[in-house]
Structure 1
Amino acid sequence: MQGRKKVVRELIFDPEVEKTAKANRKAVRLAHQAALLTSGTEEILEEEVPSSNTSNDETESMAEVDPPPRRTLGDYGQATGGHNPNLGFQPANPVSFDIKNTVLSALKENQFSGSESECPNIHLARFYEACGNTDPTGVSESNKKLRLFPLSLTSRVKDWIDTLPPNTIASWDELELKFRERYFPIHKFLERRNDITNFEQGDSESLYDAWERFKLCLKKCPNHGLDSNAQMQHFTQGLRAQTRMLLDASAGGSLKNKDESEARELVEAMAQNEYRV
């Protein structure tokens, strides 16, 4: 039986098959582009996405990313693009309105600098008073205070509010809370409350001066948590013996027989009489 002829084809071995494949793909792409240019056909070629077989060198070449411009150390101290990045305090929803000269003057005259001699609660009370003198149309009470409050600050407190992250404060209640946390922390609250609960009349202090100082202590700590009865008890117990005797005589025997409102009226009347003398 005659055997079949075996046809042996010689295989060409290409040791750089990937390189050859990339060259072939490139040749096909160039031929396609040349054909388009020759025919005059306008076609938007989609950006080629490198295949998984594309080498790192070829990917970087196709991207052609320009390196960032060289910057010296001195450049970092300069503003970029002609803009000043420090815009001061910026609430989440800033509003703009004309401020009356009388309001602006009141805010400037009672600016809070954060010194030990200043009381943040007294400052807030005066700020509320100034805000009551203006009522811009279409502006809520919260947004009005957010707009005006920075004008009532100066020195290091102005620096403090300008460091708050922009667009993070959405209401006046949020800003007031941050202000109190910063300038009326718990240890100051306890000190001011202690001034009320342990009040004492000075050796040479008149009833009028003692009463005015006690009321100022209440203003410096508005959240003291003491009702009217407790307030009068702390005040009268801190008076000198001679002053209490005068109050008892004016009360017709003993101040203890008076309720809170009657005792307060008596103290107010005696203090005013003493002030007029």
Structure 2
Amino acid sequence: MAALRDHNRPNHNDACNSISFGTLDTNNFEMHPTQVGLIEKDSFSGSIEEDAHAHLRKLKNTVAMKKWNGFSEDTLRLMLFPFSLTSKADRWLNVHPPNTFTTWDALAKAFLAKYQIHTLQQEDGEYLGEAWDRYKYLIASYPH
């Protein structure tokens, strides 16, 4: 039986394992650092000024720029998504239990539920009707 202190030790295998992309044949797979750099360049921190929907759209577009044989775009999005997060958003991803997200759709829905709609605030000088229109846009853009 393990001692209680052993359960509190960090394990490098637990790092960002909230995302699972199943078994992959990585023999023919190599990602160039510049491709990861493209993802990191437009990172999302979870601040109120950021647009979560736009972040996911940019990630999808960046992944679609290059094809890797044997890998679906959804799998590539799952693999690259952690590189697109910093600060609060990175912490949000890492607190989920192992294998929480096994599909891109599930991850995108959870991410938008956390960072999209609840962060809406009426901007300085913005009319209530304008804020309401933005809210309706966010609701409509949420993947159902």
Please give the TM-score of this superposition, normalised by the length of structure 1. 0.40
Pick the aligned partner of 1:87 from 15, 18, 30: 15
Distance, in Å, in 1 between the alignment partners of 2:9 and 2:82 is 27
Deviation at 1:114, TM superposition (A): 0.3
Deviation at 1:223, TM superposition (A): 2.1
Q: Does the aligned pair in 2 maintain the 1:120–1:183 contact within 8 Å?
A: yes
Instruction: Find the structure with the greater CA-based Rg.
Output: 1
Aligned to 2:67: 135
The residue identity in structure 2 corresponding to 1:88 is C
Structure 2 gap segments, 5+ residues each: none
Question: Map of 1:65-80 to 2, 5 A cutoff?
Answer: 71=3, 75-78=6-9
Distance, in Å, in 2 between the alignment partners of 1:147 and 1:87 is 13
Aligned to 2:77: 145
Deviation at 1:141, TM superposition (A): 1.7
Distance, in Å, in 1 between the alignment partners of 2:7 and 2:71 is 40
Distance, in Å, in 2 between the alignment partners of 1:149 and 1:75 is 30
Distance, in Å, in 1 between the alignment partners of 2:109 and 2:65 is 23
The residue identity in structure 1 corresponding to 2:14 is N
SS at match of 2:140: coil
Aligned to 1:198: 129
Change (3 A) 1:74 1:141: closer
RMSD over aligned Cα atoms? 3.5
- % of aligned pairs identical? 24
Distance, in Å, in 2 between the alignment partners of 1:149 and 1:186 is 21
Q: How many positions carry a matched residue from both structures?
A: 133
Distance, in Å, in 2 between the alignment partners of 1:104 and 1:223 is 30
Change (3 A) 1:84 1:137: same
The residue identity in structure 2 corresponding to 1:91 is S
Distance, in Å, in 2 between the alignment partners of 1:186 and 1:138 is 37
1:175 paired with 2:107, answer yes
